[in-house]
Structure 1
Amino acid sequence: MAAKKRVTSRRPPKLKPDGDGGGGGGGVASPMPHSQRPYSGYRRRIALLLPAFLLLFVVGFASVYWNRSGSFVVDEVSPALYSIEVVREFPHDPQAFTQGLLYGGNDTLFESTGLHGQSSVRKVALQSGKVEAMQNMDRSYFGEGLTLLDERLFQVTWLQKTGFIYDRNNLSKFEEFTHEMQDGWGLATDGKILFGSDGTSTLYQIDPHNFRVIDKQVVRYRTHEVHNLNELEYINGEIWANIWQSDCIARISYKDGKVIGWILLPNLRQGLLTAGYKGIDVLNGIAWDSEEKRLFVTGKLWPNLYEIQLHPVERRFDDGVIEQLCLRMPFNF
């Protein structure tokens, strides 16, 4: 069986003045003596005001540019771009097909793993990577996103609209629910509502009591829909999302779906490949320690979990790096 997230990456297709700006013509008149030129003072005022008009023009149209095909395009403020620095490396179970990850306090992680017959919910010690408790799932389920709200762990499953709720203390499963997303991929919470992804470009807001969708936004980067939203994390009022089949994390405004930042992490996977870990899968898993302000990431079948810091990257406006590294065509399963 071809497991989810083992499909070859595809790149999206690349995105694809006229007129006479002159005024009216006329004949050339004989010059008038200086004393007879009624508009000389007007010209001086125009000369003084011209720089101000030019400044207003630049400010007012700073968001307008010509794209490569010559089309007139209105640009919004470019999202921020970040590289990463590895602060620390921690052991991670290389057999864990990580689908959901979160920080539970006291150097403890909770993790949801996938693959039929191997799916589970786990309590993991951060420092050692040791699995301290585990709830195996029925072979018919493929575990996906996981989040913690109050004392309950919420989990969704792939290709089904079924989810489960577990006790965070002993991982006992005590409730099953049905959600309204097209599929189950990622989950996160702000402590009040659930945020969900289903592998499309839609970010859902879900009532944790009845699991109905109370709002949803299509996630966009400039004019592109951002497909394949995967594992989610709520961080400082934003939703951070792994983009499946990429080494990118999108920082999303859940209020309007706009991407407000991109985090580029290709060096992590490449470093593992260079070190000889040929069996690893894609980057997936974001966990945020809100008290110590620590950010953790890992991937499917990765032997390491990383604590990272972000560093802003300067770039040209239309360099195309995000289109190449982060945007993918939608997949249908």
Structure 2
Amino acid sequence: MRTPILTTLLLAAALGGCAGAPAQETGPEQLTVQVVSTLPHDPAAFTEGLEFAGDTLYESTGLAGQSTLTAGPAGGPPTTKVALPAPLFGEGVTVLGPTLWQLTWQDGFAIERDAKTLAELRRVPYQGEGWGLCHQDGGRLVMSNGSSWLTFRDPRTFAVTGSVDVGRDQLNELECVGGDVYANVWHSDTILRIDAATGRVTGTIDAGPLRAQVNTTSSEEVLNGIAAVPGSGDFLLTGKQWPVTFRVRFVPKHA
């Protein structure tokens, strides 16, 4: 028969062992899209960047000799538009008050522009490719290059200030919301919600239901373009040369 003292010691040891066991980390939250409404989208627009600033929607498009940057109301004709000179290939865009940054794909520089007129102000070189771009509260830029890495940049100089590995390749168009970064995964219907501080994927969003509503004719007409709708919790999603933009909410995905 065990003595009361021995029993107490064994119980304490067992409880201590449980307390010291690491908590199991849960996987990313599984989400899908709930369509709120649809808006017309230019079917010629090879969308590479999409972002709201106030009630103005900015869209950067690609393809050498066809790249543009537009600004205007969501779903309506642009009020301002500029064409990038050939052979530049436009990529991600983000707006910082009176100015904005627009990436180029393999041309090796970002273009700073006046946010109202879209006039080019200067070009700043960077290493590697440019894919997606957004900015966090406080102005820090977040950039993707098609790899698994997000690079942080100074909003004034465009200098690199840090980076984080997400562990998932082909990160494309980006949207910053608070401490999260939403990223399209190229050639997929998946959007990742990423904790920018750690690179951890906290949510996986299946946007596949949208593709079923779009008659694509090319493998390059992929989901690409995320813009948070200010003050709503909704997002605008579109794709390269899609004829429609979807206003959606991200909701739990049920098996």
TM normalised by structure 2 equals 0.90
The AA in structure 1 aligned to 2:175 is E
Report the secondary structure of 2:101's partner residue. Answer: strand
Superposition map of 1:170-249 within 5 A: 170-180=117-127, 182-190=128-136, 191-219=138-166, 225-249=167-191
Q: Residue 217 of structure 2 corresponds to which residue in structure 1?
A: 278
How big is the shift at 1:166? 1.4
Shift of 1:209: 2.1
CA deviation profile, 1:274-297 (whole Å, cap 9, x unmatched): xxx434700000001233333111
SS in 1 for 2:213: helix
Match of 2:249 in 1: 309
**How many residues are treated as equivalent by the alignment?**
253
Partner of 1:60: 21
Kindly provide the amino acid, as one letter, of the partner of residue 286 in structure 1: I
Q: Which residue of 1 aligns with 2:98?
A: 151
Partner of 2:111: 164
Tell me by how many angstroms 1:101 deviates: 0.3
Aligned pairs for 1:89-168 within 5 A: 89-106=38-55, 108-128=56-76, 130-168=77-115
Q: List gaps (5 residues or longer) in structure 2.
A: none
d(CA) in 1 for partners of 2:212, 2:100 = 32
**Number of the residue aligned with 1:87:** 36
Q: Which residue of 2 aligns with 1:298?
A: 238
Conserved 8 A contact 2:223-2:238: yes
By how many angstroms is 1:194 displaced?
0.9
**Quick one: distance in 2 between partners of 1:94 and 1:59?**
57
Separation (CA, whole Å) in 1 of partners of 2:58 and 2:194:
23
Paired residue secondary structure (1:267): helix
CA distance in structure 2 between the partners assigned to 1:151 and 1:61 by the alignment: 48
Q: 2:232, 2:212 → 1: CA distance?
A: 28
Which consecutive aligned stretches of 4+ in structure 1 deviate over 3 angstroms post-superposition?
A: 40-46, 52-59
Q: What residue identity is the alignment partner of 2:97? A: D
- Kept in 1, the 8 Å contact 2:75–2:245? The answer is no
- Per the alignment, residue 323 of structure 1 pairs with none
- 1:281 to 1:127, Cα distance in 2 relative to 1, 3 A: closer
CA distance in 2, matches of 1:172, 1:203: 28
- Inter-CA distance 55–312: structure 2 relative to 1 (3 Å threshold): farther
Contact preservation (8 Å) 2:97, 2:115 = no
Secondary structure of the structure 1 residue equivalent to 2:209: helix
Q: How far apart, in 1, do the equivalents of 2:224 and 2:20 lie? A: 41
CA distance in 1: counterparts of 2:65 and 2:237, whole angstroms: 25
Structure-2 residue corresponding to 1:69: none
Question: Which has the larger share of strand?
Answer: 2
Percentage of matched positions with identical amino acids: 35
CA separation of 1:179 and 1:83: change in aligned 2, threshold 3 A: same
C-alpha RMSD over aligned residues:
2.5
Where does structure 1 lack aligned partners over 5 or more consecutive residues?
1-38, 64-75, 220-224, 316-333
